[in-house]
Structure 1
Amino acid sequence: METTLLYVIAALGVSIVVNILLKKLGVSQIIGYILTGTIIVYAFDLRDISSSHTLEMVGEFGIVFLMFTIGLEISLAKMGTMKKEIFGNGLMQVSFTALLVYLIAYYGFSLPLQTSLIIALSFSLSSTAVVLSYLKSSKEIYRPYGQISTGILVFQDIAVIPILILIGFMTSEANESLYIIISNTLFSVLLVLVLLFIVGKKMMTWLLHFSASSEVEELFMGSVLFIVISASLLAHYMGFTYSLGAFIAGMIIAETKYHHKVESDIAPFKDILLGTFFVVVGMKIDVMVFIDNIFFIVGAFVGVAILKSLTIYGLLRMTSSHRRSLKAALALSQVGEFSFVIFALASMGGLIEDELAQLLVLIVIFSMMVTPFFISKIGIFVEYISGKQDVVEDMSALSARKNHVIIAGYGVVGKFVTSFLDDLGASYVIIDNSHKHVMQAINDGHEAYLGDASKNSILDAIHVDTASSVIVTLDNPEKKRLICEAITNHTKNVNLIVKVISLEEKNSLKDLNIAVMVDGKVEVARVLVERMSSCHFKLKY
């Protein structure tokens, strides 16, 4: 026990020192955690426990909590709007990338069929941990290319399930027929969805309601942890990944009013466990094997990155712009962490040689180490290649802004609002989550920024605390409520004016501190009566 505590304290101390140094150099903290794992292994000669199943499970829960927070961003309604990104782009990306890698491995390197298939499926996956961590921290997850990348990553996590089933079928221990395996899997999928979306949704909502009403933060936090871990264990018990259960739980909570509180409360646990995951990754590095095969590892990574980038770009270019396609392709060019699981199972099942499996693991680790260095430079690279700047997202110009009007949404109503504010000579800024709308506003000569007004970081950036008013012009009721909740929770000193389209929507927003709710139908009726009275007056006299 004392020895274990020594290792934990040493890892904590090393990670702090390393990350402080790397932070000053502008290097991602992911690299610091990976280096910490490698340093600890060699400092205390822990190479025998670096492949510990318990240690890997602890690290895997970093991915679990990351996927839970991603689920909070993607409700069922939003997943319906992201069908193309998830099931269209995602399916094509995994299928075509796997096919190309398989052909190269089988015909180019003369590897066995089963080995080539496993490598192809593994290399078709990208790193959820690295890419989504960057997209969330940089707020680029709300940009079009970030949404495309997120959709593909979600599909990749779903695709892990049939990949693991296929490996189980190919191993010598798989005595059941493929029909029985698929039937059992489909039954398990149906059971998990029923338990989580029907039974689980009611239980989650009830538990969050009563723990929140108790006004004891520890009870609410405990309820959230219970929900995440229970959903993860249920999914794993039914034969799926832990992270899939957590992702579904996040999607369910995303449709409740506790969405923002859960997201802020769970963040420290997610960050700590995600750091642990990368420490475990660093512990898997065999420095001598890496040095002896460095040219092969680097060459394989470069080849895979180029192949994946070209494939993803070509597929996305059919439906998206050049810039979005190129950014998403470069962001997803690395090999993902789920490849560790695939290579481990394949090695244990005798489907791939141990030495080759170790080299492949090192390629994955090198890929995850290099990615944080270049993923933050993708925007600069694409701007250099394209020869033009993307929509401006730097909000530093708002640092001294006071008594300004914030317009949330630049649709039809938003355009009329800017016109009337121009007549009044009022100072205003536009915030919209649509890249298209922001570009339209900028082209119309307005000051506009790309961002999600339901996020506290965006509200801080546009200085909602010092604004005179916020006018919400969106049509989507769910998004409108999220924005209003975020603003009323963020500040009590701003006049919030919201457009509503029905009495039901107006009643649903009554619990929020909204200064004025403008019902479009009521206002039209009022104007019609006023015009009728004016005409009647003129005719009479």
Structure 2
Amino acid sequence: MHEALTLIVVLLGSAVAAVVLFRRLGMPPILAYLLCGLAAGPFGFGWITNLEGIQHLAEFGIVFLLFTLGLEFSIPRLLTLRRVVFGAGPLQVVLTGLAVFAVMRLLGFSTLTSGITGCALSLSSTAIVIRELIGRGAVNTGYGRSSTGILLFQDLAAVLMLVLLPLFSQEGNDHLLSMTALTLGKSLLLFVGIFVVGKWILPRLLEETGRTRSDEVFVMTALLLALVAAWVTHWLGLSMALGAFLAGMMLGESHFRHQIEADLRPFRDLLLGLFFISVGMLVDPDLFAAKWHWIILAALSIMLFKGLLIMVLLKLLGERTEVSLRSGIVLSQCGEFGFVLVALAVSHEVMTPGKAGLLVSITVLTMSVTPALIQNSGRLTRALLRPWLSIPEDSPVSKDIQGHVILCGYGRVGQNLMRYLGSFHHQAIAIDLDLVRLQEASAAGEKILYGDASRKDILERAGIERARLLVVTFDNARLAERILHTVRDINPAIRVLVRTRDETHLESLTEAGAAEVVPEVLEASLMLVAHALMMLDVPFERVLATLRKTRRERYRMLQGYYHGDSFPSTDSAGNPYRLLHAVTLTGKARAIGQSIAQCSLKDVEIREIKRDGQGSDNPDPETRLQQDDTLILYGPLEAVEAAEIKLLGG
């Protein structure tokens, strides 16, 4: 008992430490679990030598993974992306699997081992790719939709592989075709049965459970549903994962979906972590050290083949070259379902732990580079496509044109600005690094130049010496500063307008030479203020005067706000974050009777004094502070805390 408890504490402790470290490094937590398994397993420190017990428990992680996958599986979404899901998806899985199978057979591996390896390596990592796409806000982009569509089919294919693998692992089966047909027939009947239960019985059961208003009863019910579905399929001689997936898919259409998913997520994550730890125990470091060059070659080969195949398939479906190539880069890795197939193959004794360790090593290597690949996929796509795309070298601005506008960046903001400038008969040229956007805009007759707007030669080709205004339309303060310094060296007289997200870089951009800086968050606040005041029948002239005054004072009134629990310590530039904080002077406060100047508050300004229900903005430094005054302080967190101590206690 003591040894078991020690083992659990060591595994959980090492897993927590590894996951925190990998999160900080921006790497998938799956790799942290695999590393823990490697350390704890028979090839590491030898804390666990009997893998059978932990593998049986870890199988429940797969049950809950497939159950939650079924909850998230949306038939309407599947139909929306059907061209990619049922076009590129099946071809990618089949062709990748066949290519790997052929190579494995040529290398002398058995038919079954080659088939399992082909299936495992044909799948990409849904967990990593979807998380990265969501984090970058790229789910609804062209390459995000294509990637999601292929991943949807891969998830369906993984379920089918898990169902059929135990069947194919039976040696000496002379009736494989009939057994496969029987298994698929059972799966179909199971689907019909779960559909009937999920349509008419489960919703009523969950409604009755919900009426108890007991969280633990609802959680137990959700656990019971997943486990009963797994037990039924196991009893029928099918994969437990299939029943869990079908049950989740039926419940995914109900309004209990989100609550069930939230309740089961802790169990799923814990058991999945245990599963990946058990997979990590299959990796032999000595084997990796002896065959590291083959592992790296295999990882590079599968990523290159899969990436090019996905690009070709999407291109044949009519996707743009940039979208096709970027989708191929995003989906080029192997995925976590490969671990599931490997673990299942080892448990059925159709793959040795040594071969499984090699396959896991290849998969881990491809997954470890995936976050960096996705993050730089746009830059990599542009670099790869540039030699094949025609980029006009001549300046699209005639030397006779004077007083035009240069737009740095031609995204949505830049294009909208170009349209309005055209309606007011102002000539403009855009500079952008997106090759596909360049081709489409050039084909439409718009004046656009390819290049980095911070480079002197690019700005000169855009006619910076003769331009009247330059506008930075993207939200990248560091690049905007570089552009400002380059512009000032060429044409100090030109006015520059810069867009930013908030007031973080307002002062630095102004000092760098920006004539105006437009923080979009503050401008959105100003627009709401203007609409609200006009809906309250405030005269338009007064509203306009207020807006002009706020902009003239460089948004001083809008800077800083009262933060909640989640308070950032630094802004995007790495400077201490500034906030508003209210301090009321009680009867024993040291600052009572002193002027604001006498308080000598360091790095903090008093924005407002509220006294007797009245507020006084920007108070005079000679203003004397009184008891019950409420001071609105503005500054960095540490400075505000020090000022509060000084005002109240001395």
TM-score, normalization: structure 2? 0.54
**Deviations 1:399-453, CA, capped at 9 Å, x for gaps:** 6655988xxxxxxxxxxxxxxxxxxx9xxxxxxxxxxxxxxxxxxxxxxxxxxxx
Q: 8 Å contact 2:282–2:353 — kept in the other structure?
A: no
Paired amino acid for 1:388: D
Q: 8 Å contact 2:282–2:356 — kept in the other structure?
A: no
C-alpha separation between the residues in 1 aligned to 2:93 and 2:212? 46
Paired amino acid for 1:302: L
Aligned-pair CA distance for 1:92: 0.9
| Partner SS state of residue 265, structure 1 | helix
One of 182, 185, 200 as aligned partner of 1:184: 182
Per the alignment, residue 91 of structure 2 pairs with 92
C-alpha separation between the residues in 2 aligned to 1:147 and 1:5? 46
**Deviations 1:204-236, CA, capped at 9 Å, x for gaps:** 211221222222111222222222222233344
Deviates further, 218-227 or 298-307 = 218-227
Matched, 1:79 2:78: yes
Aligned-pair CA distance for 1:368: 3.8
Query: For 1:368-379, what aligned pairs fall within 5 Å after superposition?
Result: 368-379=367-378
Paired amino acid for 2:74: S
C-alpha separation between the residues in 2 aligned to 1:250 and 1:165? 16
C-alpha separation between the residues in 1 aligned to 2:348 and 2:44? 32
Matched, 1:267 2:261: no
Deviates further, 374-383 or 218-227 = 374-383
Change beyond 3 A, Cα 1:152–1:63: farther
Per the alignment, residue 150 of structure 2 pairs with 152
Q: 8 Å contact 2:142–2:323 — kept in the other structure?
A: yes
Per the alignment, residue 198 of structure 1 pairs with 196
Change beyond 3 A, Cα 1:237–1:155: farther
Per the alignment, residue 515 of structure 1 pairs with none
Per the alignment, residue 434 of structure 2 pairs with 388
Aligned-pair CA distance for 1:396: 6.3
Per the alignment, residue 326 of structure 1 pairs with 325
One of 215, 218, 221 as aligned partner of 1:223: 221
Change beyond 3 A, Cα 1:18–1:189: closer
Q: 8 Å contact 1:30–1:372 — kept in the other structure?
A: no
Aligned-pair CA distance for 1:199: 1.7
Per the alignment, residue 100 of structure 2 pairs with 101
C-alpha separation between the residues in 2 aligned to 1:5 and 1:254? 37
Per the alignment, residue 286 of structure 2 pairs with 288
Paired amino acid for 2:245: F
**Deviations 1:174-208, CA, capped at 9 Å, x for gaps:** 43413421331232122211121112332321122
C-alpha separation between the residues in 1 aligned to 2:138 and 2:241? 22
Deviates further, 146-155 or 6-15 = 146-155
Query: For 1:240-389, what aligned pairs fall within 5 Å after superposition?
Result: 240-319=238-317, 320-340=319-339, 342-343=341-342, 355-382=354-381, 385=384, 387-388=433-434
Q: 8 Å contact 1:59–1:276 — kept in the other structure?
A: yes
Which has more radius of gyration?
2
Aligned-pair CA distance for 1:161: 5.7
Q: 8 Å contact 1:334–1:368 — kept in the other structure?
A: yes
C-alpha separation between the residues in 1 aligned to 2:217 and 2:526? 40
Aligned-pair CA distance for 1:349: 7.6
**Deviations 1:344-385, CA, capped at 9 Å, x for gaps:** 666788876775454334323433444345444435544655
Per the alignment, residue 29 of structure 1 pairs with 29
C-alpha separation between the residues in 2 aligned to 1:63 and 1:143? 30
Q: 8 Å contact 1:309–1:333 — kept in the other structure?
A: yes
C-alpha separation between the residues in 1 aligned to 2:182 and 2:434? 52
| Partner SS state of residue 317, structure 1 | helix
Deviates further, 348-357 or 185-194 = 348-357
C-alpha separation between the residues in 1 aligned to 2:149 and 2:193? 24
Which structure 2 segments of 5+ residues have no match? Answer: 386-432, 438-473, 477-499, 503-519, 529-542, 544-650
Aligned-pair CA distance for 1:390: 10
Aligned-pair CA distance for 1:86: 3.0
Q: 8 Å contact 1:312–1:325 — kept in the other structure?
A: yes
**Deviations 1:85-110, CA, capped at 9 Å, x for gaps:** 33332211111112222333345x35
Which structure 1 segments of 5+ residues have no match? Answer: 406-424, 426-541
Aligned-pair CA distance for 1:300: 0.9
Using the aligned pairs only, state the percent identity: 33
Per the alignment, residue 11 of structure 2 pairs with 11
| Partner SS state of residue 284, structure 1 | coil
Deviates further, 83-92 or 361-370 = 361-370
C-alpha separation between the residues in 2 aligned to 1:355 and 1:292? 12
C-alpha separation between the residues in 2 aligned to 1:404 and 1:58? 57
Q: 8 Å contact 1:281–1:365 — kept in the other structure?
A: no
C-alpha separation between the residues in 2 aligned to 1:4 and 1:14? 15
C-alpha separation between the residues in 2 aligned to 1:95 and 1:327? 21
Matched, 1:46 2:25: no
Paired amino acid for 1:316: L
C-alpha separation between the residues in 2 aligned to 1:247 and 1:139? 28
Aligned-pair CA distance for 1:315: 0.9
Paired amino acid for 2:434: K
Q: 8 Å contact 2:346–2:353 — kept in the other structure?
A: yes
TM-score, normalization: structure 1? 0.64
Q: 8 Å contact 1:75–1:252 — kept in the other structure?
A: no
C-alpha separation between the residues in 2 aligned to 1:85 and 1:205? 33
**Deviations 1:27-50, CA, capped at 9 Å, x for gaps:** 33333222222223367513523x
Matched, 1:68 2:67: yes
Change beyond 3 A, Cα 1:286–1:271: same
Aligned-pair CA distance for 1:147: 4.1
* Structure of greater relative contact order (alpha carbons < 8 Å, 6+ residues apart): 1
Change beyond 3 A, Cα 1:18–1:390: farther
Aligned-pair CA distance for 1:330: 2.4
Aligned-pair CA distance for 1:289: 1.3
Deviates further, 392-401 or 40-49 = 392-401
Per the alignment, residue 117 of structure 2 pairs with 119
Paired amino acid for 1:333: S
C-alpha separation between the residues in 2 aligned to 1:62 and 1:142? 30
Q: 8 Å contact 2:55–2:275 — kept in the other structure?
A: yes
Change beyond 3 A, Cα 1:5–1:201: farther
Paired amino acid for 1:314: V
Q: CA RMSD in A?
A: 3.7
C-alpha separation between the residues in 1 aligned to 2:134 and 2:57? 22
Deviates further, 395-404 or 85-94 = 395-404
C-alpha separation between the residues in 1 aligned to 2:355 and 2:330? 26
